[in-house]
Each structure stands twice: as C-alpha cells, then as structure tokens.
Amino acid sequence: MVVAYRPVTIAFAAAAVLLSALVCAPVGADDEDISLTDTVDRLDLDFYWDPYSESGLLQRGNVSVRFVTRFGRSVVSYRDTVTHGGVTRREGELFIPATFQRYLEELFPPPEERFERTIAAIYIDAGHGGRDPGAIGVLPSANGPVQITEKSLVLDVAVQLGTLLERRFPAKEIVLSRSEDVYLTLEERTVIANGIDIERNETVIFVSVHANASLNSAARGFEVWFLPPEVRRTNLVTADRVGVDDPAVLSIINTIREEEITLESVLLARNVLAGIDTAIGGESPNRGVKEESWYVVRNAKMPSILVEIGFVTNPDELALLTNAEYLSRLVDGIFDGIVSFVENFEQVGTDE
C-alpha cells in the first residue's frame, strides 16, 4: 500500500457544502477509538493528511472518504456523508470510532476479499523438436565434431524448469508444450496454452525457450523478448468469458486486457532477464529485453515471453550451454525470475 503524507489540495469548502446538502448515513459515535493508521494499513488505502487544516483523505480506486478532524461527519466519494462522531487526534496519532472503522471495512473490502487475479498455470514451451532441430552448433570433441541442436538444449531447460516450478508451486498447473523430442507446429503450441482451463480471475503465464544462432560466430549472450502492444491481437476476451455481450464494452475490456498483458509481459521479461543475469551474467553477456512479434508469443492470450538462452553458433557459449552445471544455473536464473514475477503478481506474503 501507499501512504503519502502530503497536503491535500482539494477544496474543502466544496466538501463542506456537500456535508450539509446530502443524505446522512448515521454511524454510532459512542464506541472505542481505533488507530486510523492501522485501519489504513489493513484495508490497503491511500491516505493523505494535511496537518494544517487537520483534514484527510482515504482512498482506494475511485472511492474516497474526506474528513476534517473536528467534524463528526465525512464526505464519501463527493456524494454521501457519513456521521461518525469525528476523527480525533492524540499525540500525533489519529483515531476513529470502531463503528466508523466497520463502515470503512464495508466501503473498502479488505484485500483478501477483493477480486484478484492469480496465476493458475505456467506454460513452458521448449522451442522446435522432432524434424525441426532449430539452430545447430558444432562442438569439437576428441572423437571429432559433435552437432548440438537447439531443440535438445531447450528441451533440457524446459524439463528442468518444469520440475523446479512444480516443486515451488504445487497448487499451480505446470504445463510443458513437449517433454520429448516431438514436432509441434507454432499453432499447436499456442492452442495448448490457450486451452488451459482457468477461472475468470486466473491467468496463465507463457515462457517459450529458444537458443540463438548467428552467421557471426562472435555473437553471444542471452536475451528475453516480449510482444509490443501494436501487434497484439485484440479479441483476448470473449463474451462468454466475461458475461458481457455488448461489443463496445467487450472492446473496452479487450483494450484494458491488452495493456495489462503487455505490461505483465514486460515485467515478466525483466524479472527473468534479471534472474538469468544474476545466475550466469558473469559468463555470458546480457543482451537485454527486446520486443518482437514472434508468432508463438503473439497468439498467446496471456503474459508471454521468449527466452533466448545463448548462441549455439559461438564455440565458447556452446561449450557453456553443453555444460550441465552451467545449464542448471541458467535454469535456476529463469526459475528465480518467474518466481519473483509470480510473487509480485499475487502479492504473496507482503504488505506492499
């Protein structure tokens, strides 16, 4: 939550006019005082306080309660007034009557009762497979050069990542696009992801894993891609999903969802990039977060990223990627990034 102790610039004269003009919802005054700061924390409200006018504002979203300590009433969302016996100030602390606190609880349901989105599933897509090897690198060995394929490296990463995530999030569904060397079209990969059964307040996150190739054998490093908003498809939300069939309303909801998904994809990309950087940044260059219209990410109706774990065409990087210890640290990095994204998204165990 945010508590911003700064002066309120709203005209309290207008509020005073409303106080006298509007319907009063009485709240008993003869009860014990409760700390306003505790209430603000518990209900996760924004709180503005002006010590000079002794006036304050409690707010969440578009609902607000304005008060002046000496008045026994507050104005709610510029419309209604509530009579509560006043906000009192003792030794620099503000107190409210218990009945006023109960009124605030009804007005601002506690965070745990609010409609919140959770991540129900994590979809891990190992790129390529079967007859599609993806990028191919050549590793020198005592018995001559050995071909290393992107499809086998990324499968190894996906399977390890899936195991870690299953252990960390037993309540979430961890879905792999493939757990063996099979061919899947790009469309099949997104169909699986979009087909994961979720409730209205749940989402899936989509992590596609690839390895890079370049004609320039010096190119190396890891990078994470997300989809820029302008290429995102618009029909994310369908009528049956939200229970609204007005096309104009659906269009607005879709725009909001698109912005949300883009923002979430960027945050997921940054978290994963930082995780990888912490794990192996000393050995492989961080090429940053990038935007691209990858098909596999574009058609996923959920926060989606594509991780490029390194270049198989760079002999030094290929030697690292084929080293089991290095690869498992790389997986740990992707895992840490996903975990921090999920924890922030679901606000697990924090007061923030």
- CB neighbour list of residue 242: distance below 8 Å, 6 or more residues apart: 200, 250, 253
Give the residue with the Cβ less far from Zn ion, 56 or 134: 134
Give the residue with the Cβ less far from Zn ion, 86 or 127: 127
- CB neighbour list of residue 150: distance below 8 Å, 6 or more residues apart: 127, 128, 133, 134, 135, 136, 210, 211, 213, 312
- Spatial distance between the Cα atoms of 107 and 65, rounded to a whole number of angstroms: 9
Task: Give the interface segment with Zn ion, choosing from 137-145, 210-218, 258-266, 322-330 (CB under 5 A).
Answer: 210-218
Q: Is 151 in the site for Zn ion (CB under 5 A)?
A: no
- CB neighbour list of residue 15: distance below 8 Å, 6 or more residues apart: 66, 68, 75, 78
Q: Exactly one of 85, 97, 127, 137 binds Zn ion (CB under 5 A); which one?
A: 127
> What count of Cα atoms within 13 Å lies in the side-chain half-sphere of residue 59?
17
Give the residue with the Cβ less far from Zn ion, 210 or 301: 210
- Spatial distance between the Cα atoms of 99 and 239, rounded to a whole number of angstroms: 41
Q: Is 85 in the site for Zn ion (CB under 5 A)?
A: no
- Spatial distance between the Cα atoms of 309 and 39, rounded to a whole number of angstroms: 47
Give the residue with the Cβ less far from Zn ion, 65 or 321: 321
**Cβ 151 to Zn ion, closest distance in Å?**
8
Q: Exactly one of 66, 210, 270, 301 binds Zn ion (CB under 5 A); which one?
A: 210
State the amino acid at position 310 in one-letter form: G
Q: Work out the widest C-alpha separation in the chain, in whole angstroms.
A: 92
**Cβ 136 to Zn ion, closest distance in Å?**
11
Task: Give the interface segment with Zn ion, choosing from 129-137, 139-147, 289-297, 318-326 (CB under 5 A).
Answer: 129-137
Q: Is 56 in the site for Zn ion (CB under 5 A)?
A: no
Q: Exactly one of 134, 137, 162, 333 binds Zn ion (CB under 5 A); which one?
A: 134
Give the residue with the Cβ less far from Zn ion, 97 or 127: 127
How many residues sit in the footprint of Zn ion (CB under 5 A)?
3
- CB neighbour list of residue 109: distance below 8 Å, 6 or more residues apart: none
Give the residue with the Cβ less far from Zn ion, 60 or 210: 210
Task: Give the three-state DSSP class for 204.
Answer: strand
Q: Is 73 in the site for Zn ion (CB under 5 A)?
A: no
Instruction: Please give the residue whose beta carbon sits closest to Zn ion in the complex.
Output: 210
**Cβ 308 to Zn ion, closest distance in Å?**
8
Give the residue with the Cβ less far from Zn ion, 208 or 262: 208
Task: Provide φ and ψ at 179, rounded to 5°.
Answer: -120, 10
Interface residues toward Zn ion, by CB under 5 A: 127, 134, 210
